[in-house]
Structure 1
Amino acid sequence: MKQQETITDFYTSDPILNYILNEKLTIAEQSEIQVNTSIFISENVKIDHDIIAIIVGNLMDNAIEACTRNNGKGKDIIVIIKQFKSDLFIEINNAYLVNERYTRKERQSAGIGIKSIRSLVEKNGGIYHSWTEADRYFASIVLFDVYE
């Protein structure tokens, strides 16, 4: 029996978010999706760490799903999580099938994850914005006044 190698990279000092990031990046790698990260979160966050982990986990799930459906075309995700003064900026963008934008709009059950992300961001006084440019989907979040 072949033993699976587990490599843990440390992206943040938050063990929950770090675990989520490592899990999602492992799934992406197994799906042959290239992921580039630029992550900096300092330790003195006032917001519940679980909230950040839930948001990032859901966004990563959506990005991985979209890339998986991309059938061999561009399969990449860019993850940016940065502190800007007292605010936290999260942006995840990924390749996606352009024609999927129209077919997914017709499904009633689609977008439950995005609705929960939007609700969580709004409950914590943040802004959620998503848009497309060519064959890329962008999800951008700003959580205000989260640093002491």
Structure 2
Amino acid sequence: MGFFSKKIDKQIATYQHELIETHYREVDNMYRQIRGWRHDYRNHIQTMKAYAATGDWEAISKYLDLLDEDLTTVDTVIKTGNAMTDAILNSKISLAKSKGIKVVADAHIPVKLKMSEIDLCCIIGNLFDNAIEASVKLPEENRLIRVYMDMKNTQLYISFTNFTAEKKLTKKGNLFSTTKGEGHGFGLVRIDTIVERLEGYISRNSEDGAFTTEILLPQV
């Protein structure tokens, strides 16, 4: 292996490590919010007991509405059936929403997958980061990411679609041209490397201002 190839491999490995650390920070932040809400649970019960003791049912009703609204901010948005997928998707959905991006997700994943959690983390994380990066360039009303994940026979099917500022991107080989930095390029290469190693299939399509990536990964 030449010097250049070793340098590329080292840069990809470094990018992968940084990407995974970012995912886990996002997940940790989400669960910190959940733990905080649970910590306050006893105080919420005591407050409602005090209202009940005085028969102030209107106050109880209003308090329950506030709790319901608060819980919505930390509740799991997507429940796929696979813990790691839930963690990655929900952390990225939360990030997208904080940037004014609407996310429509439909995901159903077996509890156990043949592929490693690290591979899954890299693929989903990169796909979501790329979609978010493209979406924030659009007016907020046009920002939308569609995610679909399910089993097709013995293969895991992953589809990401987002709108872009360009009507049609220019394809170079198996990749599309980008104005992002080299980290983005390594992210795309990393996805392709994982898909190839797992003997899967990947397709990218840019048409009418929408960019779609589809991936099939064997699970037997």
TM-score range, shorter chain: 0.7 to 0.9
More helix, by proportion: 2
1:125 aligned to which of 184, 199, 217? 199
Report the alpha carbon displacement of residue 15 of structure 1 after superposing the two structures with TM.
2.1
Name stretches of at least 5 consecutive residues in structure 2 with no aligned partner: 1-36, 38-69, 171-176
2:190 aligned to which of 103, 116, 130? 116
What amino acid maps onto 1:54 in structure 2?
C
1:89-110: per-residue Cα shift (whole Å, max 9, x none)? 10000011116836x5477735
1:40-63: per-residue Cα shift (whole Å, max 9, x none)? 112242222332222111100100
2:90 aligned to which of 4, 22, 25? 22
1:20-79: per-residue Cα shift (whole Å, max 9, x none)? 111100011111111111111122422223322221111001001100112335100000
Counterpart of 1:74 in structure 2 is 142
Asked whether the 8 Å contact 2:122–2:190 carries over to 1, the reply is: no
Asked whether the 8 Å contact 1:95–1:137 carries over to 2, the reply is: yes
What amino acid maps onto 2:106 in structure 1?
S
Asked whether the 8 Å contact 2:146–2:162 carries over to 1, the reply is: yes
Flag the 1:42–1:28 CA change in 2: closer, same or farther, 3 A. Answer: same
Of structures 1 and 2, the larger Rg is shown by 2
CA distance in structure 1 between the aligned counterparts of 2:94 and 2:193, rounded to whole angstroms: 27
Higher alpha-carbon deviation: 32-41 or 67-76: 67-76
Asked whether the 8 Å contact 1:16–1:50 carries over to 2, the reply is: no
Count residues with an aligned counterpart. Answer: 143
Secondary structure, in 3 states, of the residue corresponding to 1:26? Answer: helix
Flag the 1:106–1:96 CA change in 2: closer, same or farther, 3 A. Answer: closer
CA distance in structure 2 between the aligned counterparts of 1:76 and 1:117, rounded to whole angstroms: 22
2:159 aligned to which of 58, 80, 91? 91
Name stretches of at least 5 consecutive residues in structure 1 with no aligned partner: none
Where relative contact order (Cα < 8 A, 6+ residues apart) is larger, the structure is 1
CA distance in structure 1 between the aligned counterparts of 2:110 and 2:215, rounded to whole angstroms: 17
TM-score, with length taken from structure 2: 0.58
What is the aligned-residue identity percentage?
Answer: 24
Counterpart of 1:9 in structure 2 is 77
Flag the 1:61–1:106 CA change in 2: closer, same or farther, 3 A. Answer: closer
More strand, by proportion: 1
CA distance in structure 2 between the aligned counterparts of 1:108 and 1:22, rounded to whole angstroms: 26
Which aligned segments of 4 or more residues in structure 1 are displaced greater than 6 angstroms? none
Counterpart of 1:134 in structure 2 is 208
